[in-house]
């Protein structure tokens, strides 16, 4: 019985997040109320509040899920066989593509990002650190295969993330599209050059 009820609980939590994300995309974060979410699920707002203390808590959980999808795909790329350089390029390109799809193409979700940045969420820092550590794994594989040279792995990963800010950061992806700059492939070549063995 405990297991079943736990299952139902987590199922309800998931359904709340699915509906919330859909409404955030359709009518925007600001306009969506907890009442709207409850109504869609045919439950009382009080029941929604049993799972999330506030609309902000729902917002953060939705953002966490969206970021989690990027992290999952990144881990999948790292686990693939083949040269580290190719997976390194594929990893950076995928983070750019998924962040662009999620936060830039969708103006309603972009509103969520603006708020997350303004309120300076920990979920963003956790995501940055996760992506950096996954990038660090590929660099480590490249060091092992002799493709890369990186005396300080965590630092090399952070510098890679920082170098890619224009292509990773939702606000920069949107803003820099009209500014002079390299293509993502040219930027990845530049970063790979910095990680390549000196001799």
Residues that bind its own copies (CB under 8 A): 117, 120, 124-125, 128-129, 132, 155-156, 158-159, 161-163, 165-166, 169, 171-172, 175-176, 178-182, 186-187, 190-191, 193-196, 198-199
Of the pair 23, 63, the CB lying nearest its own copies is at 63
- Rounded distance between C-alpha atoms, residue 59 and residue 116, angstroms: 9
Find the helix packing angle between 55-78 and 107-118, rounded to 10°.
Answer: 100
Of the pair 19, 188, the CB lying nearest its own copies is at 188
Q: Where are the alpha helices (DSSP H) in 79-152?
A: 84-99, 107-118, 122-144
Shortest approach of its own copies to residue 68 CB, angstroms? Answer: 18
CB 50 within 8 A of CB 34: no
- Would you tell me how many other CB atoms lie within 10 Å of the CB of residue 145? 11
* CB-facing half-sphere around the CA of 115: CA atoms within 13 A: 16
Sign for the CA dihedral angle at 126, 20, 95, 76 comes to positive
Of the pair 14, 119, the CB lying nearest its own copies is at 119
Shortest approach of its own copies to residue 163 CB, angstroms? Answer: 4
Shortest approach of its own copies to residue 105 CB, angstroms? Answer: 18
Of the pair 42, 179, the CB lying nearest its own copies is at 179
Shortest approach of its own copies to residue 102 CB, angstroms? Answer: 19
- Rounded distance between C-alpha atoms, residue 14 and residue 99, angstroms: 22
Of the pair 77, 161, the CB lying nearest its own copies is at 161
Shortest approach of its own copies to residue 81 CB, angstroms? Answer: 27
């Amino acid at each position: 019985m405990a297991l079943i009820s736990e299952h139902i609980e987590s199922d309800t939590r998931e359904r709340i997040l699915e509906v919330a994300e859909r409404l955030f995309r359709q009518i925007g974060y600001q306009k969506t109320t907890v009442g709207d979410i409850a109504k869609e699920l045919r439950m009382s707002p009080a029941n929604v509040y049993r799972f999330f203390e506030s609309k902000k808590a729902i917002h953060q959980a939705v953002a966490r899920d969206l970021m989690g999808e990027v992290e999952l795909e990144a881990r999948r790329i790292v686990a693939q066989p083949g040269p580290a350089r190719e997976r390194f390029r594929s990893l950076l390109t995928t983070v750019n593509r998924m962040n662009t799809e999620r936060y830039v193409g969708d103006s309603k979700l972009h509103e969520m990002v603006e708020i997350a940045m303004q309120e300076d969420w920990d979920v963003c820092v956790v995501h940055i650190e996760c992506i950096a550590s996954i990038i660090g794994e590929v660099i480590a594989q490249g060091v092992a295969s002799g493709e890369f040279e990186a005396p300080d792995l965590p630092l090399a990963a952070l510098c890679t993330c920082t170098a890619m800010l224009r292509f990773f950061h939702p606000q920069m992806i949107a803003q820099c599209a009209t500014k002079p700059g390299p293509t993502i492939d040219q930027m990845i070549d530049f970063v790979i050059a910095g990680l390549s063995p000196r001799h």
